[in-house]
Structure 1
Amino acid sequence: MDLKSLGRVLIFPVQMIYLIVKASVCSLFPSRRKELRKELVLITGGGRGIGRHLALEFAKQGAKKVILWGRTEKCLKDTAEEIRLSGTECHYFLCDVANREEVYKQAKVLREKVGDVTILVNNAAVVHGKSLMDSDDDALLKSQHINTMGQFWTTKAFLPRMLELRHGRVVCINSILSQSPIPGAMDYCTSKASSLAFMESLTLGLLDCPGVGCTTVLPFHTNTEMFQGMKVRFPQLFPPLNPEMVAQRTVEAVRTDKAYVYLPWTMHALVILKSFMPQVALEEIHRFSGTYTCMNTFKGRT
């Protein structure tokens, strides 16, 4: 090993300590928030659930334009009208992100009619809510397309222009289930784990791309119709998240260039426990908390 390489090896631990201390200190103080008045925000699955609240929150925080993609026109229309009443320009387009050709077609139409997307929010998702043996193959495939491949296609459609402009952000509304799967939602957990790996890779890949970055949000069970009927053993200890709060924290993370957001913050502990606890102990945690059987009463939207 030459002297230069040896010097780097010796300095590296010092750099790590400095960065950890710096991040810890900075977390104690409010971060400077970017303005959104020049941003054109596209939200997939923007007609209802978390997507609707995201659209309203981006508009509230001053986004220049909000665009909604989804599969149900009535939901898109109602949300768009609500946003327009608040004074923010809003457009909606019918688009199924599970259809690659449709994504590229609508991306072209959007650019021509509205402009360049500078904040892409990949929010659209589905959960099948059945065991592997009871699942229909087509339903499993569709969930993979929406939860994973749709994110690939939308990012491919809009990221190149962000790189040209040297300005933009790719946002993913993921799930803590991508890191702590549960029975009864195998398709959702698998596709969300794939989505997380995609975002982790993309986040690192954009390190040397000035002005362009990523935000990944990993919420616990959120109180929307998607997971209606899902029950944990101690709802007072593990209450479902409010979708308005998830939207607020997401927009805040975008405005402060935060890469990863765990909601609530206690989900950090779950990830840490998984890194060193034996499997038998993790299984007992699932049984104790009720996550082992929480999908038995599932009747949400698929």
Structure 2
Amino acid sequence: MVVVKYILLLTEILLLIFKILHCIFNDVYRLIRPTKEKSVANEIVLITGAGHGIGKELAIGYASLGATVICWDINEETNNETMNDIKKKRKDSVYAYRCNVADREEVFRVAKKVKEEVGDVTILINNAGIVFIKSFLNQSPDEIARVIDVNVTAHYWATFLPSMIEKNHGHIVSVSSLAALLSFPMGTIYCPSKSAVQGNSFLIE
């Protein structure tokens, strides 16, 4: 039994090393033979969790590149701040909608409103995510459900995917984390949720 455990551990370590080396070689190859940058001007980009952090920076970045940016966040105040910060840079093609991505019906309702008021989303960035830094035994059932609903289940409400397929044009980007590969003791729910994000992304491809 002990031997089996060591074999499994060794297998996981080797798999991790392989993944790291694959990423390194892939990045080196791209440095040697860089891919042509694609313009996002006039694309309609929807970013979840745009009220702060990575989501906010992505929204500002895409707006600066000429894209129409749609900000989604459960926090209406910070979401509007992101929109206003973009408008201060003289980029007016930006919209903000309050949306709880963990609520399927709300996602469908707000998505319909976006389609009517802005148009078909061509780039969807699933960025919204939450984490509770607690050990496994200290996680409440509600906290576990909340992390899974926001970090994982929300990615399945890909209501913009059909129009992308119909037009043969569009991209879905799901923000994961190094935590998907390297777990930490206080990330007992967060780490598996980010692994699920990676798995779901591969399946959509």
Larger radius of gyration: 1
Change beyond 3 A, Cα 1:138–1:115? same
- Please identify, of 183-192 and 84-93, the stretch whose mean Cα deviation from structure 2 is larger: 84-93
Quote the residue 2:49 is aligned against. 45
Partner Cα distance (2:29, 2:130) in 1: 38
Aligned equivalent of 1:71, options 71, 74, 87:
74
The alignment's TM-score, normalised by the length of structure 2, stands at 0.83
Q: Give the deviation of 1:28 after TM superposition.
A: 0.4
Quote the residue 1:114 is aligned against. 118
Partner Cα distance (2:108, 2:56) in 1: 23
Quote the residue 2:99 is aligned against. 95
Quote the residue 2:87 is aligned against. 84
Q: Give the deviation of 1:85 after TM superposition.
A: 2.2
Change beyond 3 A, Cα 1:73–1:189? same
Per-residue CA deviation, residues 70-99 of structure 1 (Å, 9 max, x unaligned), is: 011111111101112223211011101111
Change beyond 3 A, Cα 1:183–1:122? same
The amino acid of 1:84's aligned partner reads K
Secondary structure of the 2:160 match is: helix
Q: Give the deviation of 1:22 after TM superposition.
A: 11
Aligned length: 180
Q: Give the deviation of 1:26 after TM superposition.
A: 5.3
Quote the residue 1:158 is aligned against. 160
Structure 2 stretches lacking a partner, 5+ long: 1-24
Quote the residue 2:65 is aligned against. 61
Change beyond 3 A, Cα 1:24–1:111? same
Secondary structure of the 1:68 match is: strand
The amino acid of 2:184's aligned partner reads I
Aligned equivalent of 1:138, options 142, 148, 155:
142
Aligned equivalent of 1:126, options 108, 113, 130:
130
Quote the residue 1:35 is aligned against. 39
The amino acid of 2:191's aligned partner reads C
The amino acid of 1:161's aligned partner reads S
The alignment's TM-score, normalised by the length of structure 1, stands at 0.57
Correspondence list, 1:92-241, <5 A: 92-153=96-157, 155=158, 157-203=159-205
Partner Cα distance (1:108, 1:25) in 2: 41
Partner Cα distance (2:188, 2:29) in 1: 39
Change beyond 3 A, Cα 1:25–1:52? closer
Partner Cα distance (2:163, 2:33) in 1: 34
Partner Cα distance (1:85, 1:29) in 2: 37
Secondary structure of the 1:117 match is: coil
Per-residue CA deviation, residues 236-275 of structure 1 (Å, 9 max, x unaligned), is: xxxxxxxxxxxxxxxxxxxxxxxxxxxxxxxxxxxxxxxx
Change beyond 3 A, Cα 1:100–1:22? closer
Partner Cα distance (1:26, 1:188) in 2: 30
Partner Cα distance (2:160, 2:116) in 1: 13
Partner Cα distance (1:98, 1:24) in 2: 38
Structure 1 stretches lacking a partner, 5+ long: 1-20, 204-302
Identity between Structure 1 and Structure 2 (%): 35
Secondary structure of the 1:133 match is: helix
RMSD (Å) for aligned C-alpha atoms? 1.7
Change beyond 3 A, Cα 1:58–1:132? same
Q: Give the deviation of 1:30 after TM superposition.
A: 3.2
Secondary structure of the 2:154 match is: helix
